Structures are given as C-alpha cells and as structure tokens.
C-alpha cells in the first residue's frame, strides 16, 4: 500500500484494493454489468442517472454490497450510489445487483472523495458510512475517513434535511466522529436517548462484516441531520 493516494495527493482512508482471485462469474460481471451502472466521470447530478428517482442516497465503503443491495431492493424508487475501493467488494456487489435484478444502483470503484467532489451540490437525501476502516493505531488516525474535509464535502452534497448515518464497532472511532460532527455548523446529532445510538435504526440491514464483531465494542449508530 502506498502512503498517498495519487489521485488526490492526500492520505488514503483505505488499505488494499484487491485480495483473492475474483470468481469467473463475478469477473464477467465486472466486464459486462459494471460499465452499464458506473457512476460517470466528471460533474454529475444523481437525478440524471435514473428517470423519476424520488431520492438519491450514497453509501461510502459498501464492502460486499449487502446493505446497499438490500436497501435498493426495499426502495426501488430511490437511486443508490455506492462507492468502494476494494475490487473484490465491487465484484460481490455486482453479483447482488445481478441476482436481485436491481435497476436503481450505480457503482464507483475508488475513493469516495472523487464522487463527493463531482456530485451536484445539495443533491443527496441520505448518506451511509457503515463500519469504515477504523485505523485504530494513533499514528494512523490521520487516515480515517471522518475528517473535517470529508464532513464539509458531505455537507455540500446533502440537501437541507438530509441525513448521514455513521456506524462503527470501535469505541474510539465513535468518539472521534461525534466530536468532529458536533463541531460542524452544518450538522446536528439526531439522538434523543441512549437507545438511539445503542440500537440499530429500524431500517438498518445487518451485514456479514458486522456480525464478525471485529471491533472493541458493540456497534454504535450515529445519525446526523443536515441543517
């Protein structure tokens, strides 16, 4: 892994981009399906990607695509944009899209900051950052996705009244995120009671990664509203 992301000249917030060999069926989908549902290069408005879309959502770091595909199946009227740097995760997500016949998913393999920089202002209704790489060592905290710059980019992309959901099973990352989000003039924390961050939201879909319980605490769910 290189120290810097050459696309941005800033530190990566993710590690490897490919691991085990990709299965033949998924490799075929990377050749055939992926180009047809790719998020376009350059500036774009999500509403131009699906005629009649009632809302546009963004999932940053969708892993194997289980949550993204499940939400898309529940809400076919919503266009869901997914961004994931890990090629094996993208291949897995394409399989879900294909098997479930989803017409409301668009995918970008790469850094979410690329999409946030290109998306039209105030064009997203919701954003999800679920169990991102926690970079638990202190010397690696600068690689965490949640930084002031990312918060500002999300604020630019979300509509007033839009929502951002962040989840982690690392206690320190939950505190890190809450501290930085509370400093932002663009967001407010929507929790009213402890169960609001201790229990999964009603529309949350649990993924295989979440059930592995790789962190140091029970999952924490932080929901923020765009002011």
Please give the positions annotated as active site. Answer: 133
Sign of CA dihedral 132, 138, 143, 149: positive
Whether 208 has a binding-site annotation, put simply, is yes
Whether 169 has a binding-site annotation, put simply, is yes
Contact 88, 19 (CB under 8 A): yes
Contacts of 123 (CB under 8 A, 6+ apart): 45, 46, 47, 56, 157, 159
Spatial distance between the Cα atoms of 59 and 125, rounded to a whole number of angstroms: 11
Whether 99 has a binding-site annotation, put simply, is no
Whether 111 has a binding-site annotation, put simply, is yes
Whether 84 has a binding-site annotation, put simply, is yes
Whether 137 has a binding-site annotation, put simply, is yes
Whether 7 has a binding-site annotation, put simply, is no
Whether 133 has a binding-site annotation, put simply, is yes
Task: Say which residue the tokens 């490897």 belong to.
Answer: 16
Spatial distance between the Cα atoms of 227 and 220, rounded to a whole number of angstroms: 22
CA 156 to chain centre: 16
Annotated binding residues for substrate: 137, 169, 207-210
Annotated binding residues for S-adenosyl-L-methionine: 59, 84, 111, 133
Annotated binding residues: 59, 84, 111, 133, 137, 169, 207-210
């Amino acid at each position: 892994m290189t120290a810097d992301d050459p696309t941005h000249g800033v530190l990566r917030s993710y590690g490897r981009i490919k691991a085990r060999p990709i299965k033949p069926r998924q490799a075929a989908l990377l050749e055939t399906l992926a180009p047809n549902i790719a998020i376009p290069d350059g500036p774009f408005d999500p509403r131009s990607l699906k005629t009649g879309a009632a809302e546009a959502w963004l999932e940053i770091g969708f892993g194997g695509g289980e949550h993204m595909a499940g939400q898309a199946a529940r809400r076919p009227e919503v266009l869901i944009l997914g961004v994931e740097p890990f090629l094996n995760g993208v291949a897995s997500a394409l399989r879900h899209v294909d098997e479930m016949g989803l017409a409301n998913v668009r995918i970008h393999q790469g850094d979410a900051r690329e999409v946030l920089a290109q998306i039209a202002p105030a064009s997203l209704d919701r954003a999800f950052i679920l169990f991102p790489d926690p970079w638990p060592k202190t010397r690696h905290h600068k690689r965490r996705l949640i930084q002031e710059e990312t918060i500002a980019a999300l604020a630019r992309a979300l509509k007033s009244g839009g929502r951002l959901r962040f989840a982690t099973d690392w206690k320190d990352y939950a505190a890190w995120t809450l501290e930085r989000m509370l400093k932002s003039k663009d967001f407010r924390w929507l929790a009213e009671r402890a169960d609001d961050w201790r229990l999964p939201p009603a529309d949350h879909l649990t993924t295989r990664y979440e059930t592995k319980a790789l962190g140091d605490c029970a999952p924490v769910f932080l929901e923020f509203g765009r002011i």
